[in-house]
Structures are given as C-alpha cells and as structure tokens.
Amino acid sequence: MKPINQIEPVFGIDEADALKYYILSGGWGTEHTKSREFEELIKCSVGSKHCTLVNNGTMGLILSLMAVAGESYGYEVIVPALTMVATINAVTHLGGKPLIVDIDTNLCMDIDNAIEAITPKTSAIIYVSFNGRCGDIERLKYECEKRKIVLIEDACQSFGSLHNGKALGTFGDIGVYSLSPHKIISTGQGGAIVSNNEELYNWCKRYKDFGRLKGGSDLHTEFGINSKFTDFQAVIGIEQIKTLGTRIEKKKYIYQFYKDNLDIIGDIEFATTPDTPWMVDIYVDNPKALKDYLKDNKIETRLMYPPLHKQPYIKEPIELPVSEGFSKKGIWLPSSVNLTDKQLDYICEKIVEYFMLKG
C-alpha cells in the first residue's frame, strides 16, 4: 500500500494548463496583472476592502507589525502560546517584546488572559484562529478599540473559515493568510494581507515594494524591502481559489468522517469543532506512541506544536496549563483533500486497532 501523507498540496491539470498558457503568452512572472486578479478574488472571497499579496505568511505578519509600530523597539505584542512559531518570530524579528498568554478550550487566545497582560507598552495583539477555530474575537476587538491597540489576525490556518457568518481574518484591523503547500489552497509559498484600513494597507503595499509610492516608480518615499508575490504563483492561486468551495466541503467531510468513526473511543478527544478545519487534530494520552504505530502502518501523522514558552530557543519560565495540556496530547491526522474513503477507512481502522491492542 502506498504511504498516506499527513498533508499534501493538490495541484491539477487546470493549474498546469494555466501556467503553461501564461508562460507561452509572454508573461514576465513578476507581480503584475495576474497578482492583481488574484488579490481581487481573495477580497471577494473574504469580504475585505483591501488585499496585498506577499511572499509568505510570516512576512505578512512582519509587515503588519511594521505598519503598526514601525521600526521602534521595546513595544509589546500579546500572542497565544499554542501556535506555529512564526507568530512569535514576527514579533522578535522586529525587536518587539512578545507577551505569551494561555489559550482557552477553543484552542484560541484566552481573552481574559490577554486583557490582563496589556500594559502601556502594548501596541498590538495577534489573535490566532487555530485550525479554523475562533473564540470571542468580537469581545477582543471591542477591548482593543477601547484601548487603541491594533488587532492583528494570524489567520494563516483559517482561509475559508467563518465565525458568525464573517470570514476569519477580517475581524481585526489587519489579517494574514498563508498559501504554503499544506494550506487549503496553495501557491507553493505565499501569503495575503487583508484589511479594511486603507492606511495600514497602503503602508504594507509600499513597504513590500522597496518603499515605492507606486509600482514602476524609482521614487522611494520611505525605506522598504522586496517581499512581493509573483504572477507565476498568482496563476496557480487563481485556479486553486476556483475550487475553494469544493475543498471546504471535503475538509469538513474528512473531519466528520474521523469524528463519526473515532469519537466512540473514550481515549480520543476531539476539541471544539472548527468551521473549516485546516487539518484534523485529535488529543490522546500518548500521541508519540500512536504516531509510531501509524507510521509502521504507512500512515504519516504530525505531533502538535510545543507551546511557545517551551520552544527550545524561547524557554520562558511560565506555566500556561491549557496550552501545555493540549500540546502534550495533540496529533494531526492525515487531512489532504484528495484522501479517499478507502484511505480514511484504513486510517480509522488502524487507530481503532492501536487502542484495542493498547487495552
């Protein structure tokens, strides 16, 4: 039996044909008309006024923070403990001070903890919609507005997910999506910044293009870098986003398939159900043992992130029990949109088998 990957991108003939046509038509590859077209599609998809594409989601977070705090040092940014390390890297890369807070049972930032962590130096809060989930972000938005703190949404795992009918990534002052290979749609690498705040949007757009006032000009009104997208990627992204609805349906189907077949096992916990799960996460007492057993049966999985304060390069001496608890027990199951029912049946069969042998 062919090994089952934990996650993989799905590119098809439509992407190949579109890219071939673009290249043969004389496209230069750099960010231009196809990128603008892709930005419009993202804006329409999430209901945002503005969108600018960047070379990856991490750079999207960095640009967002730069738009908020510039190049000043010592400002504070509140981040949740359970997230991919890029969230905190964006803060430390710019010389900011991250304040790590615990999550709640939604696996998203605990709002009470975030409010308690605010100090006069707090410039921004980065809210991570973990695996397409969301807690009371409306309350956090209200608290940020009251205190004039910028709310940045790290929605890198949440493109296509809704909360109360509104797209995740569009609640805050600025939102960031990722288009890396294991996301619901992918352009290989890449990211998107969305915002309804024209000032923040324009700042990000200028800064990612060498500080130019407008494209094609060699007048630079401020310092900037090159973190632009490419039309090669946009051509692929345009084809990918056309299938977003189908991909969302399949992600929800996969999650429900696992839940229907595994929820009866008392040793498996499903956290709160995501709107659109990026990947399926379950929580067990010994995820490493389950991972090893499934690997022996040609099924690839991935262990949950360590909480940020336990990452080897951070090692902050604090206790955040909810984040630590979920991190110790979490494992990502195979979640690619091209999984067949036969493969899903096999994965569930082997997980059940593991727990039966475990006794």
Is the model's pLDDT at 213 over the cut of 80?
Answer: no
pLDDT tens digits, residue range 199-208? Answer: 999 999 999 9
Check whether residue 73 and residue 90 sit in a common domain.
yes
pLDDT digits over 272-322, tens only? 999 999 999 999 999 999 999 999 999 999 999 999 999 999 988 999 999
Whether residues 103 and 56 fall in one domain: yes
User: Which segments within 202-289 are labelled E, that is strand?
Assistant: 280-283
**Within this chain, do residues 218 and 293 fall inside the same structural domain, yes or no?**
no
Residue 71, pLDDT > 70, answer: no
pLDDT at 198 over 70: yes
**For residue 347, is it within any domain?**
yes
| Of 24-28, 69-73, 318-322, minimum mean pLDDT range | 69-73
Domain stop point among 212, 242, 272? 242
Give the pLDDT confidence score for residue 72 in this predicted structure.
59
pLDDT 10s digits, 313-333? 998 899 999 999 999 999 999
How do strand 280-283 and strand 330-333 relate by DSSP bridges?
Answer: antiparallel
Q: In the structure encoding, which two tokens stand for residue 167, read together?
A: 């797209």
Model-level pTM? 0.96
Q: Is residue 169 part of a domain?
A: yes
Do 212 and 278 share a structural domain? no
- The answer on 187 and 50 residing in a single domain is yes
| Exposure letters 190-205 (e unless 16+ CB within 10 A, then b) | bbbbbbeeeebbebbb
pLDDT of residue 73: 62
* CA nearest to 153, candidates 215, 108, 220: 108
Percent share of the chain, pLDDT over 70: 98
Per-residue model confidence (pLDDT) at position 74: 67
| 304 and 164 both lie in a single domain | no
- CATH code of 155's domain: 3.40.640.10
List pLDDT tens digits, range 99-156: 999 999 999 999 999 999 999 999 999 999 999 999 999 999 999 999 999 999 999 9
Q: What pLDDT does 212 receive?
A: 87
- Of the three residues 207, 242, 277, the one that is the final residue of a domain is 242
Q: How many CB atoms lie within 10 A of CB 260?
A: 10
Instruction: Calculate mean pLDDT across residues 39-45.
Output: 98
174-178 and 166-167 beta bridge pairing: unpaired
Comparing 106-110, 262-266, 341-345, the range with the smallest average pLDDT is 262-266
Mean pLDDT confidence for 157-163 = 98
Residue-level pLDDT at 219: 83
Instruction: Specify whether 144 is located in the same domain as 178.
Output: yes
| 227-246: pLDDT as tens digits | 999 999 999 999 999 999 99
Q: What's the pLDDT at 69?
A: 74
Domain boundary among 242, 269, 285: 242
Task: Say yes or no: 66 and 91 in one domain.
Answer: yes
Average pLDDT score, the chain: 95
CB 57 within 8 Å of CB 86 = yes
Q: How far apart are CA 29 and CA 238, in angstroms?
A: 14
What is the domain-level CATH number for residue 304?
Answer: 3.90.1150.10
204, 64 contact by CB (below 8 A): yes
Q: Indicate whether 4 belongs to any domain.
A: no
Residue 45: what residue type? S
Taking only the tens place, the pLDDT of each residue in 43-68 is 999 999 999 999 999 999 999 999 88
Residue 221 banded pLDDT, cuts 50, 70, 90: confident
Domain span holding position 139: 13-242
Distance CA 204, CA 65 (A): 10
